[in-house]
Amino acid sequence: MSTSVEHTDVAWDLETLVHGEGPDGVLRLLDEAQAQADEFAAAYQGKVADINGAGLAAAIGELIELTDLVGRAGSYASLKFAEDTAKPEHGALLAAVEERGTAIQTKLLFFELEWTALDDAKADELLASPGVEKARHHLRVVRKEKPHLLTEPEERILAEKSSSSRGAWDRLFDELTSVIEVELPGDGGASQAVPLDVALSQLTSPDRATRKAVAEAVTKALQPGLRTRAFIFNTLLQDKAVEDRLRAFPSWIASRNLANEASDESVQALVDAVQEAYDVPQRWYRLKAQILGVDKLADYDRMASVSQADEQEFSWAESTEMVYTSFDAFSTEMGDVARRFVDEGWIDAPVRPGKRGGAFCAYTVPSHHPYVLLNWTSRRRDVLTLAHELGHGIHAYLARERGPFEQTTPLTLAETASVFGETLVFDRLLEQTTEPQARLGLLAEQIEGSIATIFRQTAMNRFEHAVHTARREEGELSVERFGELWHESQVAMLGDAVDISDGYRSWWSYVPHFIGTPGYVYAYAYGQLMALSVYGKYREEGPSFAPKYLELLSTGGSKAPEDLVAIAGLDLADKGFWRSGLALVREQLDQAEQAAKDAGAI
C-alpha cells in the first residue's frame, strides 16, 4: 500500500469471507452447514458412547469443516454490522445468521453432551488417539463443564432461545450506544454533533475548560436512553443469576473463570494484588496535578495531555511505519504479518456515523485471516491502539494452524500479544525521543496505559462484582443505584487524588463488556501484567527470546494457561508473578517522576 494513502481510504474487504458472493454467500454457507449438521447428527447422535479413536478423529474433522462454514457466515454478518450498525439490512442479516446459527448449534449440541457423559477412563483412551491433535485440549476443557451441564432437552431450550434473549439484549445495547452523538462547540460557536468515541478522545486536550466542557457534553449525551440501558443491564444481570443458579455455579464470576481456565482463587489473588497497589494510580494523579498546575485533578483531567508534544498528530503512513519498524526489531516475522493487514485490506480505520465504537480484532476462522476495526483520530493513542490490535491479529494469524477449536486462548491470555506489541512501539518511541518535555509525554502515556488496563479494569471488575451481587440480593437496580456502585468502585481506586463529579456516575452505561461478556474485564489486567512479565523476560534475554515468544503465540489455546506461559519461562503458580508485573509499573512511575523533574514540569 502506498505511503500516500490516508486513513480515510483504509477499509477492509470482507467479501473474501464469502467468496465474493455478499449476503447470498452467507446464506449459501449456512445452507451447507445445516445440511452437514443434519448428516452429522444422523451419523453420531446417540452413538458417542460407543465411538472408537478413528471415529472420534473423523467426527472432529467434520466439525472443523462445519465450524468453518458457520464461522465465515457469522464473521461476515457481524463485521458488516460493526461497519454500519444503522443500516437495516446489516441488522437483518446478522439476525438471520444468529437465528440459523443457533439452529445449527442446537442440532450439534448432543455431541458435547454425550462426550461429557463418558467416563474418565474411556475419554482418556480416546484422547490418546491419532487425529484429534487439533481438538485434544478443547475436548478436555469441555469435560470440565460436566458439573454445570443440564439435561439435553434443557440445553436445547437454552440454545434455541439464546438469540432472542441474551443475544437480542446485547445487540440492542450495541445499537443504542453506537448512535450516541455528543454536541460539542464547533467553529464560529455553532455546536457540532460527533460520535461518542471522537468526543472522548478530546478529553486529552491540554485546555482544562475544553476538557470540562467535553465531559459535561458526554454526560448530557448519555442521559437520553440511560434508563433503557439500565433496564437492559438489569435484565441481563437477572438472566445470568438464573443461569448460574440452574448450572450450580457458586458465584457470578465462576463461569467466566471456568471458561478462562483460571481458578477462582487465582483470579481473586490478581484482584487483591492490584487493589493493594491502588497507591500507584493515586501517586500518578497527584504528580499529574502538579504537572498541570492544579490543586487536584477532576475526573475529566485524567486523560489530559501533560505536554504539547501529546498534541502531535500522526499520519496513517508514519503510524504504520512506526509499528512495522518496532515489530521488525523484535521479529521480522511479526513485521511481515503486520504489513499484510495493511496491504491486503484487513483493516477498517475511519470514524463513520453508525460504525461500532472502539477497536477490536476479529479472528474470523483459521482458514481465512483476521480483521481489525479502528476508529482512527490521528492521536498517539491511535498508534498504540493499532499496535495493540495488530498484536491480537498476529496472535490469531500465527495460531491459525491449531484450527477453530484451539486457535484462541482463554481471555486471561488473550491480551498478552496485544500488550506486548503495544509495548514494543512504546519503547521505540521512547528511544527516539530525547527532548525532555516530549519524553515526559511518552512516559505519561505509558503509565496511563498501565493504569487504564490494570487498575481501571480491576475497578470495573469490582463494579461488576457489586452490581451482580446487588442485583441478586436487592432485586432490580435503579439508575441511581448503578451510579452509586460505579462511584464507589472509582473512589476506591482514585482515593482522594481525584475529584469525581456527579455527572460521571452515568459513565458506566456505554461500556459494552458489562453487557456482552460479564466478568471479561479482569482479563485485561491479567493480560497486561502477564505481558509486562513476558516483556521483562525479553529485556533480560534479548533476541534469543523471540522464537519462544512466537512459539507461545503459535500454540494458540492448545494448552492450559500454565503450560502456555511455561514456553516463555514463566510460572503462574509463583506467588511473586503478579508482584513482578506490578513492580514494572512502579518502575515506569519512577521514570515518569524523574522525567517531570528533568523537563522542569514540577
Nearest to 357 by CA among 168, 173, 184: 173
What pLDDT is recorded for position 311? Answer: 57
Q: Which pLDDT belongs to residue 160?
A: 85
| Bridge partners, residue 191, by sequence | 185
| Neighbour-count burial of 472, counting CB atoms closer than 10 A to its CB (0-12 exposed, 13-18 middle, 19+ buried) | middle
* pLDDT tens for each residue of 386-438: 999 999 999 999 999 999 999 999 878 888 899 899 989 988 888 887 788 87
Strands 498-499 and 371-373: unpaired
Residue predicted with more confidence, 190 or 139: 139
Contacts 24+ apart (CB under 8 A), 430-434: none
Task: Report pLDDT for 1.
Answer: 42
pLDDT average, residue stretch 476-490: 98
How far apart CA 238 and CA 101 sit, in angstroms, is 25
579 falls in which pLDDT band (50, 70, 90)?
A: confident
Residue 7 pLDDT > 90: no
Separation between Cα atoms, residue 323 and residue 427, nearest integer Å: 11
pLDDT-derived band at 520 (thresholds 50, 70, 90) equals confident
Helix (H) or strand (E) holding 41: helix 22-44
What confidence category does residue 26 fall into, taking pLDDT thresholds of 50, 70 and 90? very high
Question: Which residues does 69 contact at the CB level (< 8 Å), separation at least 6?
Answer: 29, 30, 32, 33, 36
State residue 267's pLDDT score.
82
Contact residues for 269 (Cβ-Cβ < 8 A; gap 6+):
578
Buried b (16+ CB within 10 A) or exposed e, 287-314: bbbebeeeeebbbbbbbbbbbebbeeeb
Question: What pLDDT is recorded for position 270?
Answer: 85
Region class of 364: left (phi > 0), else alpha (psi between -120 and 50), else beta: left
93: amino acid identity, one letter: L
Helix spans in 132-262 (H)? 136-143, 152-161, 166-178, 196-201, 208-222, 226-246, 254-259
CATH number of 7-164: 1.20.140.70
Q: Which of 287, 398, 292 is nearest to 337 (CA)?
A: 398
Residue 207: partners with Cβ closer than 8 Å, 6 or more residues away: none
Angle, helices 88-117/166-178, rounded to nearest 10 degrees: 150
Instruction: Give the least confident one: 153-162, 272-281, 354-363, 462-471.
Output: 153-162
Please provide the average confidence, as pLDDT, over all residues in the chain: 92
26-62 b/e (C-beta count within 10 Å ≥ 16 → b): bbebbeebbebbeebeeebeeebeebeeebbbebbeb
Q: Which residue has the cell 473423523?
A: 58
Alpha helices in 354-409 (DSSP H): 380-398
Q: What pLDDT digit, counting tens, does each position of 77-121 carry? A: 999 999 999 999 999 999 999 999 999 999 999 999 999 999 999
Residues 20-46 have a mean pLDDT of 97
Q: How far apart are CA 514 and CA 493, in angstroms?
A: 19
Is 90 exceeded by the pLDDT of residue 368? yes
- The torsion angles phi and psi of 399, rounded to 5 degrees, stand at -90, 5
- Separation between Cα atoms, residue 84 and residue 104, nearest integer Å: 27
Kindly list the domain boundaries of the chain, sorted by start residue: 7-164
**Bridge pairing between strands 191-195 and 297-298:** unpaired
Q: What 8-state DSSP symbol labels residue 409?
A: P
Residue 227: pLDDT band with limits 50, 70, 90: very high
Q: Which of 120, 271, 293 is nearest to 207 (CA)?
A: 293
Q: How far is residue 158's CA from residue 250's CA, in Å, rounded to a whole number?
A: 20
pLDDT over threshold 90, residue 444: no
- Matching residue, cell 500522526: 314
Give the number of C-alpha atoms closer than 13 A to the C-alpha of residue 326, restricted to the C-beta side. Answer: 27
pLDDT band (50, 70, 90) for residue 584: confident
Residue with cell 522542569: 600
